[in-house]
Amino acid sequence: MFRKALLGLACIATVALTAPAHAQEKTVIRMGTPPLGLWMLPVLVAEDKGILAKEGLTLKINYMRGGSEAAAALIGNNIDVMIGALSGVIILRSKGAPVKALSAIAGVRTFALVVDAKRHANVTNIHQIKGMKIATSRRGSDGDLVTRVLLADANLSPEKDVSLIQIGGYDNQLLAIEKGEIDGAMILEPFLTIGIKKGIIKPIVNLKAGQGPEPLRKRVWTALSTTEEFLHKKPKIAQSLVRGIASAVNYLNTNEDGAVEVAHKHFPKMDVGLLREIVKSNIHIPGGRGFLAEINTEAIDLENKFLVSEKFIPSVQPYKDVVAISMQPYWHASH
């Protein structure tokens, strides 16, 4: 009996020593991100499909009111990485903040400037929104920035000609329009298509459809970023995270059904057929993929040109200062 017990213990010890790596405790990454939208599908896929788990990582996602709030949390060391506009990283660098972009997330903006479809049925262009209340997620966020650029392009002042209202959550913006509390918003997918299908909103300027000033249409949208301190102290974790995101991008671009499955998990109230339509249109965007991990020099050149011309930054920020070049080998990884 005693010998059998010893053999049993030996077997248990052997199993414990040979347990697979995925059974070990995973490293938790604190991630800050603006309100949920389909633009962050690579992150959702990486987590939900176990891609990050294979890298030994798990995410603790903190949804915030906008990219500027996520940036403040990153600088304050309240999160490890953030998702936000690539332009935001360049703006932070211009102010001396020690942050760098690890990879891209989404290459195309699905933003559209919309108005109440019922109360403003006769409004057909941006020049007609003078005097209206327009919602953006947060002052300083990319949606706010894009709104101001569109207004300036139309010779409208964001301080005098319209009232910009901060409302966190694009679903909340839709609700506010439906209730008549605001006249319009800078909104993105899937809420853009939902609002149009329900007859709540109508687009005035749709960037996804190729409208608006050229610099806005060509820019890479979102990036995964962190601090130089995190990169220095935890380079292997950063590599694993970027490799996971790149693998998720590859999955998205080759597995439409899987992408829809993940999207429906996070937007369970949406009709699956409608969601498939939106996801497909986001993946197969004319002129380039909607999702990508690579940040090339052209993307940074375009951002710099745009931000300097609009006086958001005083001077050009070099590629090597903005982008974590050490992450380049992992942008095209796939499982």
Q: Mind listing the pLDDT tens digit for each residue in 34-62?
A: 878 888 899 999 999 999 999 999 999 99
Structure tokens at 328: 């380049």
Q: State yes or no: pLDDT of 19 exceeds 60.
A: no
Q: What are the b/e assignments for 100-137, b being 16+ CB within 10 Å? A: bbbbbbbbbbbbbbbbbbeebeebeebeebeebbbbbb
- Which of 58-72, 171-185, 256-270 shows the lowest per-residue confidence on average (mean pLDDT)? 58-72
For the chain, give the mean pLDDT: 87
Structure tokens at 272: 């699956």
Give the whole-angstrom CA distance, residue 87 versus residue 244: 23
Task: State what percent of residues in the chain have pLDDT above 70.
Answer: 90
- Which of 13-22, 102-111, 153-162, 244-253 shows the lowest per-residue confidence on average (mean pLDDT)? 13-22
Q: Do the strands 81-85 and 222-227 form a parallel or antiparallel pair, or are they unpaired?
A: antiparallel
Query: Which residues, other chains included, contact 139 with Cβ-Cβ below 8 Å and sequence gap of 6+?
Result: 66, 68, 164, 166
Query: Which residues, other chains included, contact 19 with Cβ-Cβ below 8 Å and sequence gap of 6+?
Result: none
How far is CA 84 from its chain centroid? 6
Q: State yes or no: pLDDT of 295 exceeds 90.
A: yes
pTM above 0.85, yes or no: no
Label residue 288 by pLDDT band (50, 70, 90).
Answer: low
Q: For residues 154-164, give the mean pLDDT.
A: 93
Q: Do the strands 81-85 and 27-33 form a parallel or antiparallel pair, or are they unpaired?
A: parallel
Q: For residues 10-38, give the mean pLDDT.
A: 65
Q: State yes or no: pLDDT of 286 exceeds 80.
A: no
Query: Which residues, other chains included, contact 316 with Cβ-Cβ below 8 Å and sequence gap of 6+?
Result: 304, 308
How far is CA 145 from its chain centroid? 15
pLDDT of residue 30: 97
Structure tokens at 240: 């694993």
Residue in the structure block whose two tokens are 């130089």: 228
| Domains delineated in the chain | 19-107+220-330 (3.40.190.10), 112-218 (3.40.190.10)
- Which of 62-71, 120-129, 235-244, 248-257 shows the lowest per-residue confidence on average (mean pLDDT)? 62-71
pLDDT of residue 243: 97
Of 23 and 216, the one with more pLDDT: 216
- Which of 26-40, 74-88, 149-163, 282-296 shows the lowest per-residue confidence on average (mean pLDDT)? 282-296
φ, ψ dihedrals at 225, nearest 5° = -135, 160
Q: State yes or no: pLDDT of 8 exceeds 60.
A: no
Q: For residues 60-87, give the mean pLDDT.
A: 89
Three-state SS for the chain is CHHHHHHHHHHHHHHHHCCCHHHCCCEEEEEEECCCCHHHHHHHHHHHCCHHHHCCEEEEEEECCCHHHHHHHHHCCCCCEEEEEHHHHHHHHHCCCCEEEEEECECCCCCEEEEECCCCCCCCCHHHHCCCEEEECCCCCHHHHHHHHHHHHCCCCCCCCCEEEECCCHHHHHHHHHCCCCCEEEECCCHHHHHHHCCCEEEEEECCCCCCCHHHHHCCCEEEEEEHHHHHHCHHHHHHHHHHHHHHHHHHHHCHHHHHHHHHHHCCCCCHHHHHHHHHHHHCCCCCCCECCCCCHHHHHHHHHHHHHCCCCCCCCCHHHHECHHHHHHCCCCC
